[in-house]
Structure 1
């Protein structure tokens, strides 16, 4: 298969309307590991319907267009697709329930060359239906590992955020559940890579891997805890690069550097001493 550049770059996504309830908000929080200590009152505000608040990172699952790259007309080897980078800008705190409209578009596809894969950049705006207010802008980079050399643009990719050259100011350690991927996929990403051992092994993994956006949610939890005092309105933006997969059940250790209203971070898997999320940044209001 070969990427159909013209078809992808000009693809017109239909706007996605999604109505979500307090149950969906709680399910997302449970999927990223919040309230593993059910007696922690700071975390319970995201997993209990009384005065429920939405995690800022829940924006990534709202009005999601689905795993459209599996469609053969795009010419992508979807089994080898990985999430490369993700950015979130929060314009207004997410309501705990409501109806939203998502508008998605592909902004660029970079050809890294034969055997080197391709990078696809996309954006999604999530708006509150009734008011029309912009809640969040999401930017995403998809790494199509098996699709380099299709003849598309070969421009340089943007440089990632640079981490400070000093010891981290804080470290937050958060475990993940063995069934974390099976819970998280109920928030909308049904890629079988995260559930079916046969698909995972055919893609070169020993077992189904955790969704990159689930790992991001764990990192967002760490930032919310350490830099925001569990106040979701303080987190204005967050972005990172996915550098290695996480397996459900592993412990994610987030190293945080704080400089004024900017926090830099990276995440390691404790069991393998491996950096899995890198070049992270967050704006704190």
Structure 2
């Protein structure tokens, strides 16, 4: 069905309770590659419940994994005014702000609303905003997710803001490399994103891809971990925000190369895939750090 913009924007936020345990956090970190070199570095800050720190990007999967008790089917994009075939959607961009360090175990109230719907002609961009607050009604995190819906544009809506972006005209201050594993998507999907695009070759080909691709949010988390490990002395509490656009997919087993330019407390980022001659993976990327 076509997007009903007025209904989507006017709907009351959906509200649900989410909870998580250290087991969920451990799985998330492992799905990003933590502890892959366990013989030489088990990365206990990420992989051992004693003294466990939480990457801020865990907010993207909190309440969706093992402790949710949901054997669920593939995720759907269905809400008032919006009902779209999974094969038509791509995760276009993601922004996250954490208002304070995330606990390894917690419970939160998550409010979700459609904040924007943009008409890009051949596609629509749906911006979902999620706001999480703890049991004392204190803010934990806020996210804005851009969903690119192919074939759903042309309804006469606003095109949305244009954001010109280019890397600074100088060499990056840092270059970080994060290899992914061939089984990375198989593990990452256990955080709750069961979209068959990431596991089923037939589904991936029907969606226009040669083979299943790595989740965009897996790349997002991998980049966050690389920043924490490479630039923030391994202290996840120093990463306050991360905003990106997903510019291209990678296959599990390929490498994410992250170029970083410092601008005070803000980092400008670009992520590419060296196995594909530097094809962009993430653009329009910024992080704020302490």
TM more than 0.5:
yes
Unaligned runs of 5+ in 2: 65-73
TM-score under structure 1 normalisation? 0.91
Q: CA deviation at 1:162?
A: 4.7
Matched, 1:260 2:259: no
Q: C-alpha distance in 1, partners of 2:221/2:180? A: 11
Q: What is the aligned length? A: 280
Gap change, CA 1:177 and 1:11, over 3 Å in 2: farther
Matched, 1:232 2:236: yes
Aligned pairs (5 A) from 1:89-168: 89-113=97-121, 116-129=122-135, 131-149=136-154, 151-159=155-163, 162-168=166-172
Gap change, CA 1:9 and 1:72, over 3 Å in 2: closer
Q: Deviations over 1:171-195 (max 9, x none)?
A: 1111111111111111111111112
Q: Which secondary structure does the structure 1 equivalent of 2:276 belong to? A: coil
Q: Which secondary structure does the structure 2 equivalent of 1:271 belong to? A: helix
Q: Deviations over 1:75-110 (max 9, x none)?
A: 423212011111111101000111122111101111
283, 287, 290: which is aligned to 1:282? 287
Partner of 2:16: 16
Q: C-alpha distance in 1, partners of 2:47/2:106? A: 17
Q: Deviations over 1:121-151 (max 9, x none)?
A: 111012222x2221111011111122111x2
Partner of 2:5: 5
Gap change, CA 1:135 and 1:31, over 3 Å in 2: same
Q: C-alpha distance in 2, partners of 1:228/1:145? A: 38
Gap change, CA 1:108 and 1:38, over 3 Å in 2: same
CA RMSD of aligned residues (A): 2.0
Contact 1:62–1:126, Cα closer than 8 Å, also in 2:
no
Q: C-alpha distance in 2, partners of 1:208/1:245? A: 10
Q: Which secondary structure does the structure 2 equivalent of 1:122 belong to? A: strand
Q: Which secondary structure does the structure 1 equivalent of 2:262 belong to? A: strand
Partner of 1:46: 46
Q: C-alpha distance in 1, partners of 2:283/2:23? A: 31
Q: C-alpha distance in 1, partners of 2:215/2:208? A: 15
